[in-house]
Amino acid sequence: MDLLQEHILTITIFFPLLAAFVLMLLPGESKTAIRRLALLLSLVPLILVLVMWLNYDRAAADMQFQDFASWFPAIGSNYHVGVDGISLPLFLLTTILTPLSILASFKIEERVKLFMMLFLIMETAMLGLFASLDLLIFFIFWEIGLVPMYFIIRLWGGADRNYASFKFFVYTMAGSLGLLLSIQIIGVVTGTFNIPELMDVWVNLPNDILLPVIGTVSVGWVKGIAFIAFFIAFAIKIPIWPFHTWLPDAHTQAPTAGSMILAGVLLKLGAYGFIRLVIPLFPEQAYTTAFILAWLGMLSIVMGGYAAFGQWDFKRLVAYSSVNHMGFVVLGIAVMAYAYGQNFVGSVTEDAILATNGAVFQMVNHGLSAAGMFFLVGVIYERTHTRDLKKYGGIWSVLPIYGMILIFTSMASLGLPGLNGFVSEFMVTAGTWNIFTVQLALSMLGLLMTGAYILKGIGATLHGPTKPEWLGLPKMTLREHAVIWHLMALMLSLGVWPQWILVFINDTVSRIFIG
């Protein structure tokens, strides 16, 4: 038990990897056993996260459940992990969505073992990233997360999966290169990769001195270049407009569970990178470019909203909705970038706390509602074998319960008060108002379009007279209910009583700005 207590974080992170190895030992033909075992094993990290949740000390200012091991002393990189109020909710999100995705893909018949293994490996990568306190470790998890998703799209995807998976891979790799380069520079210059240490050493390195290693290049110059590299890498992942065009293709081609994880967790890696690395490591650069980030956030919201409304492929519509929703995260991050480390007093600090709380909370909320939406699109696709909204119509009369569930989830995505999305959008809006008024006002156009595309999805699927070809569609199975009801319960509980998760976020965010 001591081992568990002392290393609970490490065990949580690597348990899925271990589970993947266990699955590897099973014979590939026993599909049912593989599915059930994968589901069962994926529940273990969830339980461990709940244990951490209950033992989390809100009064402590440091990272908690820290674990440290010497890894690569020659270059100053160590295995160092820990969680705080920002990463803990994302841990919960990841460990909830992974079992649900596994449950959602019980219908997969081809290469089941590989599929489940990839999901578990990906879970390790995501959890590791959210806990990393070392830049190199962060990067390694970042890259590991990319590979399983590539194969999931490539091997189990739709008709156009080659183009989609390739685009996804190259796009993200393009960002990763700059990221790796910058991480190397930081490591070489400061001699450490430890993030908490870098927040002191690297940030306080005077801009005008020449770098000892590289010679004639000033620190300010390197910081600028590294900032741009970090920025682009994470911007692609979120994705921020105009780096988003990989997303609709990847989502449209990915299998249902792949989309659930991609939208639910992988997009958050980018936003997390901004909050954990970009802004704390480059406060000056972030401050000067915050307004650009706000403009891009606004464009994500508006362009994403319009593009989603223009789609007739249901899944593509939901995919574009991610751009729209993540735009609010970006707006919140822009406010954080503006206020971080500037020692503002009074109102700006309050704005920043509101907006940053909202951004982190919006990450969780979008994770839940987007996963739910992709799942429901999968449910209807499995029955009708089409995602063309023009071909649907009147399905509500045939599948009344599915209809209610779709409306519920869509409304969470729309940001209906009482469900989760509204709370975070309100917080971001409130925090942004004083600082980026124009950008915020323009993004309301995107919020309007959110309504338009959500109603388009509901209307085209459920409303109108029932088309004869849809009579007798099979009802939702118990397994499908099991997936969606968990998500719905979370969406409702976070909308009605958001503080059960927000107090954790608020603690950490308040400390960031007030100390």
Distance from first CA to last CA of the chain, Å, rounded?
34
SS3 label, residue 507: helix
Among 4, 47, 181, 438, interactor with another protein by CB under 8 A? 181
The CA distances from residue 100 to 142, 283, 483, in Å, are 22, 38, 6
Q: Among 417, 475, 477, 489, which residue sits at the site for another protein (rule: CB under 8 A)?
A: 417
Task: Give the footprint of another protein on residues 466-485 (CB under 8 A).
Answer: 466
Nearer to another protein, 97 or 447 (CB): 447
Interaction between residue 190 and another protein (CB under 8 A): no
Q: Does 489 bind another protein (CB under 8 A)?
A: no
User: Encoding tokens for residue 480?
Assistant: 């499908």
How many residues bind another protein (CB under 8 A)? The answer is: 84
To the nearest whole angstrom, how small is the minimum distance from the Cβ of residue 478 to another protein?
Answer: 17
Binding of another protein by 493 (CB under 8 A): no
In terms of DSSP bridges, do strands 77-83 and 64-72 run parallel, antiparallel, or are they unpaired?
A: antiparallel
Q: What is the dihedral of CA 43, 44, 46, 50, to 10 degrees?
A: 140
Residues 236 and 234: their CA atoms lie apart, in Å, by: 5
SS3 177: helix
DSSP-derived 3-state class of residue 454: helix
Residue 44 CB, nearest distance to another protein (Å)?
Answer: 28
In the complex, least distance from residue 26 CB atom to another protein, rounded to whole angstroms: 29
Task: Choose one: 98-106, 116-124, 172-180, 287-295; the region binding another protein (CB under 8 A).
Answer: 172-180
Query: CB-wise, 4 or 213, nearer to another protein?
Result: 213
- With b for 16 or more beta-carbon neighbours within 10 A and e for fewer, the 133-160 pattern comes to bbbbbbbbbbbbbbebbbbbbbebbeee
Which of 17, 100, 149, 185 binds another protein (CB under 8 A)? It is 185
In angstroms, the CA 151 to CA 169 distance is 10
Site string for another protein, 293-332 (x = CB under 8 A): ----------x--xxxxxx--------x------------
Instruction: Pick the binder of another protein from 41, 368, 447, 490 (CB under 8 A).
Output: 447
Does 92 bind another protein (CB under 8 A)? Our answer is no
Angle at 409 between CA 405 and CA 411, to 5 degrees: 115
Residue 184 structure tokens: 């190397």
Q: Which of 234, 375, 422, 470 binds another protein (CB under 8 A)?
A: 422
Shortest CB 455 distance to another protein, Å: 5
503 part of the interface to another protein, by CB under 8 A: yes
Scan residues 192-231 and list those touching another protein (CB under 8 A). 213-217
Piece of the chain touching another protein by CB under 8 A; list 23-31, 287-295, 469-477, 502-510: 502-510
Residue 514 near another protein by CB under 8 A: yes
Judged by CB under 8 A, which stretch of 41-49, 263-271, 371-379, 439-447 contacts another protein?
A: 439-447
User: Interface with another protein by CB under 8 A: which range of 40-48, 165-173, 269-277, 285-293?
Assistant: 165-173
Does residue 455 interact with another protein by CB under 8 A? Answer: yes
CB 301 within 8 A of CB 239: no
**Candidate list 336, 440, 476, 483; residue touching another protein; CB under 8 A:** 440
Task: Tell me: does residue 170 bind another protein (CB under 8 A).
Answer: yes
Note whether 55 binds another protein by CB under 8 A.
no
Say which DSSP state 470 is in.
G
* Single-letter amino acid, residue 343: N
What CA–CA distance (Å, rounded) separates 286 from 221?
14
Nearer to another protein, 7 or 154 (CB): 154
Name the residue with tokens 């936003």.
271
Count Cβ atoms within 10 A of the Cβ of residue 503 and give its class: 0-12 exposed, 13-18 middle, 19 or more buried. Answer: exposed
Residues 6+ apart with CB under 8 A from 433: 351, 440
Of residues 351, 363, 372, 375, which one binds another protein by CB under 8 A? 351
Q: How far is the CB of 188 from another protein (least distance, A)?
A: 6
> Rule CB under 8 A: which of 248-277 touch another protein?
248
The distance of closest approach from Cβ of residue 155 to another protein in the complex, given in angstroms and rounded to an integer, is 12
Taking the C-alpha atoms of residue 167 and residue 298, their distance in angstroms, rounded to an integer, is 25
CA separation, residue 310 to residues 174, 259, 387 (Å): 29, 20, 14
Counting contacts by CB under 8 A, is residue 73 touching another protein?
Answer: no
